[in-house]
Every structure is written in structure tokens, then in C-alpha cells.
Structure 1
Amino acid sequence: MSVTGPSRALGRVFDRVADAYDAGRPGYPDELFRALSEVSGVPLAGATVVDVGAGTGISSRALRARGARVVAVDPGREMLARLVARARPARTAQPPEEARAGSDGLAAVQGDGNALPIRDGGADLVTYAQSWHWLDPVASVAEARRALREGGAIAAWWNTTDAGQADWLAAYEVRLAESCPTYWGPALPEWRVPQIAAALRVEERWLHWTRLVAVEEFLLDLRSHSYMAALTQEAADELVARQRAELMRVFPDGLLSVPMRVYLAVGR
């Protein structure tokens, strides 16, 4: 599918950091997927899931591992290339109905979340892991509803650090805000998906977990974000070096214990 406009530009932003994204971004706790099934009423085993903004496939692989048939949609060619490489024998095909027929259970389709390359009424779940905020809130939800079969659900979730639980992490966030003009800051406890979400009934959950990660992997995660891609290479390298020095001062063994939160919103 041809990807144009803002989605094409967004795909290019993340394509520039695809390697760091693939290597550094965290996965999701098992509790998230239990909550997803519970709140949506859709068992993942045997479900057809359209995973929008799939990136390098972190959520897509987790959904497939729990028995779902997944169509991973993303505007970024390089991001999808990492997804396919990790999930072989995943298939890239056009049209997506043909891709979904693959016996491997995971298909990769380059496409726009505001104009899904998915037939009407074919999905049990449409999911957005770390991605719905990039889309038009009205067009994307209308497209998701079109793609859902009766009884299906739309789900979005975001993995965020919980800076209120650790002084070192709060200081890390301050350094980010000082150095990255486009850094939005961590999600706040009162943050919610916009209620413009097309008259959906939305149920929400906050899930807490701890990420154990090496400093260098944590810094790859940092490099994978759009606010880092917006910096010059020199500025990004300087910030990473500064963060490394401060983190190693606090964690001389090079292993971080990072308090995390996942915000899950499920709409019907």
C-alpha cells in the first residue's frame, strides 16, 4: 500500500531509529495481555488482531505468542523489515487479506492507521501499542470500527517509566526535558485517551511492573524515540553520554531497576 502525508513522514522518522528501537524498547508484562482479554472480552487464542503502528513487532510477537493471528500494520518500511526478520517466516503481502491467510500467524503490511488496508469486519481486536497518539483520533477510530467484526474491541496501551517512584529516574527525566525541545515528558497519572474516541465505551487500567535492564540497552531505548531523532547527531550523542555518566554513577554495576507503568484503554 502507498503511505502518504503525515504517516509517511512519521514512518521516515522511526525508520531512522529502527535499529535502536528494535534493540532497546521494552516488552510488556504478562499482566497486560491478561487484562486485555479480560476487559475486551476477546480471548487472544484464535483471535484475529490488527496491530496498528506495530513498529518492529514487540506487541505483534507477544500477541502471536498467545495464539492470535496478527496483521501488523506500520508506515515505516525499515521498522517492518525488523519485524519480519525477527518473526520469520512472517510474510509481507498485498492485499492484506492474502497476508492474513499465512499459516505462520503473523503478516506485515505497510499502511496508514488513518486508512487501514484491512477489509471490513475481519478483526476481533484492533490494537495500538505506543502508537495511537500519532494518529487522527476520529479517522483512526472510525477505521478501526470498520475493520472490527461484531463483538470486537479497540485497545491502546502505552509503556511508560514511573518517575515518581525513583529519584534517579526523575533526574533522568529532567535532563531529557532540558535537552530535547520536543520531549513531552512521562505520562501523568491523570492522563487519559481523548474522549473524542467516537462514542466508544472506554474501560481503563494502570498496570505496574519493574524492568531490569543494562545501562547500554536503556540508552538504546532512549535513542529510539522521536524526540531523539529530532536532534542533530552531535546533540543526541552528547545527551546519551551525559545520561550514561549519571546512570553509571548511580548504578556502578551497570544494571538498572526501572519502575514502569502500562496504561491500557479498551473501547467498544
Structure 2
Amino acid sequence: MTASFHATRAHSFNAAAAQYAANRPSYPPALFDAVEDLAGRSLEGARVVDVGAGTGIATALLHGRGAEVVAVEPGEGMAAQFRHTNPGIPIVRGNGNQLPLADACADFVTYAQAWHWTEPVHAVPEALRVLRPGGALTLWWNTSALDVPWIDAQTERIRRHFGADGVVDRNGSGMHSALADPTGRLHFAHRRVRWSRDVPVDTHLANISSHSIFLVQDEESTEAFLAEERDQLLTVFPGGIVEEIYVVELLVATGS
């Protein structure tokens, strides 16, 4: 993936912020239990910086666990949707490569579905700068459960239609880049959390088409794929309710 295409995809969400907020999956309570377990501290009362917050799906859940959360989001459209959805949570414009925050101000720096848009050579030192002693850099991705036959088949159809990069934020590839710590100061713990949700087929299609690889395509190509995909899904789920199954890939890193 070229740098310019990567940037185009990163900015593509702004025009689809409402679609993203309405249809993307959330995260299960067990994920936040795992975060606390691996970090060795509670989210309640913790100062959390949620970077690449998007429309605030994860931010709101962190807030609900009793954390004092500040969101960081680079995109104008996503930030506007965040403010609409989460009017009581502060948000600042910025990105993980250059956080607009003071030194040692956070107990957690979190990235939900967002680390793969950063440049780790910059983002890791920035996270370490912002974290207090004993703080944790916490990264997670909702990834598709590829051991489920219909999900594996759909992922392959997306790959064939859009190319090899079509599932970059659906198969946990961002996790592997995170493990390449440029500072050598991070100690990673890894956990998987499996969960599912049942949604109407049209919600599922709106969910997958809110991913960046869809958003940068021409409308005709996307609509053609979604029409064919709807027919495929209805053969598996004739009642029109899709069971989406996810494996959250969680990394919690503490510094030395």
C-alpha cells in the first residue's frame, strides 16, 4: 500500500462518519475486564487518552467504566459525529504521531481499531511521553473470526474484489506492526476475546462498507459488490439476521 493510498484511506472515514457510528460493532465488557487484568489496574478513576477515537464507540465504553477520558481524533467529520454522540466527553484534534497533550498526563493511552493508521516510530515515543510511570499503551482490533466458514468466504470475496489490502483492518494486521516496537522499551501482553452480535443483513452490509477499502472505491463498484453480497448472505441467513462473530485482538504494553 503506497503512502498516498494509506492517507486517502485514513481520511475516507470523515464523509461516512454517521454510517460508521450507526453500524460498526461495539466491544464486549470482557474486553475491558481483560484490559484491567493485563494492565494490573482498574479503569475506574484512571486518566485515559483514547487516540483515533473516531465517533467515540470505545471512548463511551471507557467513560462508562468510570475512566476520565480525553479523546484525540484527527478527522473533522469523525470529530463532529463524536461531539454529537458524546457531548459530555472532551475531544481534541490531533493524531498519535504528535499528541497534543502534556507529558505524564495519562494512566492509559488507548487505540481502538486505530493503531494501524499511525507511524509507530513516532507514535510509540509519543505514547511513552504521555503515559505516567506504570501506565499502559493499550491497542485492540475487532477482527473477523475467520474460522467461521461464511466469514472466511466473505473475506475472500472482498479480497478478490478490492485487492490484497482489502482486509487490512479486519484481520489484525495492525497488531503485527505494533509488536515491532521501535524503542525497545515496551513489554507486550496479548489476549483474544471472542464475542458476537446479531444484526439485520442491511446493518451488516453498512458495517462492512464503512471500512476504508470500500470508502475509497467508486460508488458503482461498491454498490455492485454489496448487491451480490446481500444475495450471498441471504443463502446463509434466510431469516435476514446475520450473526457477526469477532475476535478482539488485545495488546497491553507497559514501558521499561
Both structures adopt the same fold (TM-score exceeding 0.5): yes
Match of residue 194, structure 2, among 205, 208, 216: 208
Task: Tell me which residue corresponds to 2:37.
Answer: 38
What is the CA-CA distance between 1:17 and the residue it aligns to? 1.9
Q: 1:6 to 1:243 in 2, by over 3 A?
A: closer
Same amino acid, percent of matched pairs: 38
Matches within 5 A, 1:95-106: 106=89
Partner of 1:123: 106
Letter in 1 for 2:179: P
Taking the aligned partners of 1:224 and 1:239, their CA distance within structure 2 comes to 14
The aligned counterpart of 1:252 is 238
SS in 1 for 2:179: coil
* Secondary structure, counterpart of 2:167 in structure 1: coil
Compared with structure 1, are the counterparts of its residues 11 and 178 closer, same or farther at alpha carbon in structure 2 (3 Å cutoff)? Answer: closer
CA, structure 1 residues 11+177, in 2 after alignment: closer, same or farther (shift >3 Å)? closer
1:65-84 counterparts in 2 under 5 A?
65-84=64-83
**1:126-165 equivalent positions in 2, closer than 5 A:** 126-164=109-147
Counterpart of 2:141, as a letter, is: W
Is the 1:11–1:75 Cα contact (8 Å) retained in structure 2? Answer: no
* Cα pair distance change 1:28/1:53, threshold 3 Å: same
Q: Which residue of 2 aligns with 1:227?
A: 213
| Range 21-30 or range 196-205, more displaced | 196-205
Give structure 1 stretches of 5+ with no counterpart: 91-105
Does structure 2 retain, via aligned residues, the 8 Å contact 1:17–1:223?
no
> How big is the shift at 1:214?
1.5
Match of 1:267 in 2: 253
Deviation of 1:264 (Å)? 0.4
Cα displacement (A) at 1:85? 0.8
Deviation of 1:251 after TM superposition, in Å, equals 0.8
The Cα of 1:57 is off from its aligned counterpart by: 0.3
Q: Secondary structure at the match of 2:152?
A: helix
**2:24 corresponds to which residue?**
25
2 CA distance for matches of 1:138 and 1:266? 18
8 A contact 2:73–2:92 mirrored in 1: yes
Please give the TM-score of this superposition, normalised by the length of structure 2. 0.90
- Superposed CA RMSD in Å reads 2.0
Instruction: Judge conservation of contact 1:118–1:147 (CA < 8 Å) in 2.
Output: yes
What's the secondary structure of 1:205's corresponding residue?
strand
| Residue 216 of structure 1, CA deviation | 1.1
Change (3 A) 1:10 1:187: closer
Q: For residue 36 of structure 1, report the CA deviation from its aligned partner.
A: 0.4
Alignment CA distance shift 1:7-1:142 (3 Å): farther
The Cα offsets for residues 32-91 of structure 1, whole Å up to 9 and x where unpaired, read as: 000001111231111110001100000000000010111111111111111111112x3x
Q: Tell me if structure 1 keeps the 8 A contact 2:9–2:215.
A: no
TM superposition shift of 1:124: 0.6
Secondary structure of the residue aligned to 1:183 is helix
Aligned match for 1:187, one of 168, 171, 180 = 171
The SS at the match of 1:196 is: coil
Task: Indicate the residue corresponding to 1:14 in structure 2.
Answer: 13
| Structure 2 gap segments, 5+ residues each | none
Paired residues in the alignment total 246
Instruction: State the TM-score, normalizing by the size of structure 1.
Output: 0.86
Deviations 1:165-220, CA, capped at 9 Å, x for gaps: x222121111111111230354269x633332522010000111122221111111
Contact 1:20 1:220 in 2 (8 A): yes
Deviation of the 1:20 alpha carbon: 1.7
